[in-house]
């Protein structure tokens, strides 16, 4: 008896306008051939050979862009608008991952409040059980004793670590490597001068040790001088932009020279004051379809909204947002690699919706829609070191979003989602 190996399913998506994520101009009337989970061929429909037996999907009039990669997310941290370490269950993590995909976010890097459950889900995904966005994780990130974030956010107790000195930092990075995290996350923030902060001596030891293990280091930071020191000392990714003052030419030159990527998370900054007077999208069905009536009530006129409206730091948050926006544009204009991130998954930063809001805010900041698309595709994949992701090209994972309207003419058209493909299959 002759055993015939099962053939991977072959699908050809034809006649869409392709935006491949590399920065190439859009290709009209394109064909993308998928075999199993992988893209096999891409090109003009007239010249790509579609294998016999392939199923064909006609996408005339549609637009195809890479799946969104979010380099700053948190999964399973929040229920409704209430964050708590006890919410970090398989059920909540998987629900967040499904929510992301429904909005076209096919990969997230969960940045620093994770435990072994996320690692277990990630490993199952890599063995083929992919039921939501691909998750990468920093495991449990670290800060300095009595520092940010634990000192101001006790709800992350158990999901944030603190070290006393350089030796402890290096040993802790060893333990993260042993857990097989994807990247290392650290917090370098004194909460506007109120808390102890990770010192250069400690971050140097951590970066050195992470690089010995082949792990990239992502830093939450706030101050320009810390960004300068971290960039000098080998930091890979700035996980939130600089918010204390405008970036200077010396820093821009150093970021480029040392190949440091910057993530803006401007929707995060905006969300710290926008609920006080109500963001304009509260009644947008694209938002409301993703939340329960209770959660909608909380952020519209409930306790969450009232708490924010009476926050004494509202003006400071507004200034931080404006600085973040200005710096994002300056970094982009200077040619620093900009990668996409939102800090969604924290309270009232809604997984999926916030990614589309971030894109809109990035365009308002002065980036082009093409630059925004590159930030969540090629640039994010490069910064993550995920070679199989980030572009609609042969050999890459078949993760993409089919849109009814052109995102290059209006970035808000990323919300006109016709279909999401994850690992070659339409996600429902
Ligand atoms: Zn975060």
Q: How far is the centre of ligand 1, averaged over its atoms, from the C-alpha of 343 (Å)?
A: 5
* Distance from residue 159's CA to the centre of ligand 1 (Å): 12
Q: What is the pLDDT of residue 1?
A: 46
Q: What is the pLDDT of residue 428?
A: 85
From ligand 1's centre to the CA of 259, what distance in Å? Answer: 22
Residue 345 alpha carbon to ligand 1 centre in Å: 8
d(CA 259, CA 256): 5
Q: What is the pLDDT of residue 272?
A: 97
Q: pLDDT at position 254, please?
A: 98
Q: How far is the CA of 13 from the centre of ligand 1 (A)?
A: 36
Q: Give pLDDT < 70 ranges for the chain.
A: 1-7
Q: Which of 169, 68, 155 is nearest to 379 (CA)?
A: 68
Q: How far is the CA of 342 from the centre of ligand 1 (A)?
A: 8
CA 34–ligand 1 middle distance (angstroms): 34
288-332: pLDDT as tens digits:
999 999 999 999 999 999 999 999 999 999 999 999 999 999 999
d(CA 27, CA 326): 32
Helix (H) or strand (E) holding 240: none
Distances (CA, A) of 234 to 53, 207, 227, 256, 286: 50, 7, 11, 12, 40
Distance (Å, whole) CA 351 – CA 291: 10
CA–CA dist 127, 248 (Å, integer): 45
Give 156-173 pLDDT, tens digit per residue.
999 999 999 999 999 999
Dihedral pair phi/psi, residue 73, rounded to 5°: -130, 170
CA of 189 to the centre of ligand 1 (A): 12
Exposed (0-12), middle (13-18) or buried (19+): which is 286, by Cβ within 10 Å? middle
The two structure tokens encoding residue 320: 């931080």
Q: How wide is the angle at C-alpha 360 spanned by C-alphas 359 and 361, nearest 5°? A: 90
Local structure of 424: helix, strand or coil: coil
Please give the distance, rounded to the nearest whole angstrom, from the Cα atom of residue 328 to the centre of ligand 1: 17
pLDDT value at residue 373: 98
pTM, entire model: 0.97
- Distance from the alpha carbon of residue 255 to the mean position of ligand 1, in angstroms: 21
Residues lying with their CB under 5 A of ligand 1, a single-atom ion: 343
Q: Separation of 195 CA from ligand 1 center, angstroms?
A: 18
């Amino acid at each position: 008896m002759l055993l015939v190996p099962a053939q991977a399913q072959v699908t050809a998506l034809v006649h869409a306008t392709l935006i491949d994520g590399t920065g190439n101009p859009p290709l009209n009337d394109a064909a993308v051939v998928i075999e199993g989970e992988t893209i096999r061929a891409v090109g003009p429909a007239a010249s790509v050979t579609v294998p016999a037996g392939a199923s064909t999907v006609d996408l005339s009039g549609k637009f195809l862009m890479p799946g969104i990669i979010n380099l700053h997310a948190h999964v399973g941290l929040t229920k409704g608008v209430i964050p708590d370490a006890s919410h970090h269950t398989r059920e909540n993590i998987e629900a967040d991952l499904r929510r992301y995909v429904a909005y076209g976010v096919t990969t997230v890097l969960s940045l620093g409040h994770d435990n072994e459950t996320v690692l277990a889900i990630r490993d199952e995904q890599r063995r083929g059980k992919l039921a939501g966005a691909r998750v990468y994780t920093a495991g449990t990130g670290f800060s300095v004793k009595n520092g940010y974030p634990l000192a101001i956010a006790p709800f992350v107790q158990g999901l944030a670590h603190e070290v006393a000195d350089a030796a402890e930092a290096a040993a802790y990075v060893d333990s993260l490597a042993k857990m097989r995290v994807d990247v290392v996350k650290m917090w370098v923030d004194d909460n506007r001068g109120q808390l102890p902060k990770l010192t250069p001596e400690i971050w140097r030891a951590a970066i050195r040790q992470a690089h010995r293990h082949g792990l990239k280091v992502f830093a939450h930071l706030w101050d320009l001088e810390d960004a300068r020191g971290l960039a000098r000392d080998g930091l890979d990714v700035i996980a939130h932009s600089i918010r204390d003052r405008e970036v200077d030419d010396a820093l821009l030159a150093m970021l480029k020279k040392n190949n440091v990527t910057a993530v803006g998370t401007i929707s995060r900054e905006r969300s710290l004051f926008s609920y006080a007077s109500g963001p304009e999208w509260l009644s947008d069905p694209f938002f409301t379809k993703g939340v329960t009536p209770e959660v909608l009530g909380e952020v519209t006129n409930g306790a969450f909204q009232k708490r924010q409206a009476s926050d004494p730091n509202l003006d400071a948050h507004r200034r931080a947002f404006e600085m973040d926006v200005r710096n994002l544009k300056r970094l982009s204009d200077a040619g620093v690699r900009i990668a996409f991130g939102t800090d969604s998954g924290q309270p009232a930063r809604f997984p999926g919706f916030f990614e589309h809001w971030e894109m809109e805010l990035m365009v308002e900041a002065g980036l082009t829609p093409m630059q925004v698309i590159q930030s969540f595709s090629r640039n994010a994949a490069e910064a993550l070191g995920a070679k199989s992701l980030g572009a609609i090209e042969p050999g890459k994972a078949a993760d993409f979003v089919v849109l009814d309207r052109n995102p290059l003419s209006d970035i808000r058209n990323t919300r006109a989602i016709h279909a999401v493909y994850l690992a070659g299959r339409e996600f429902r």
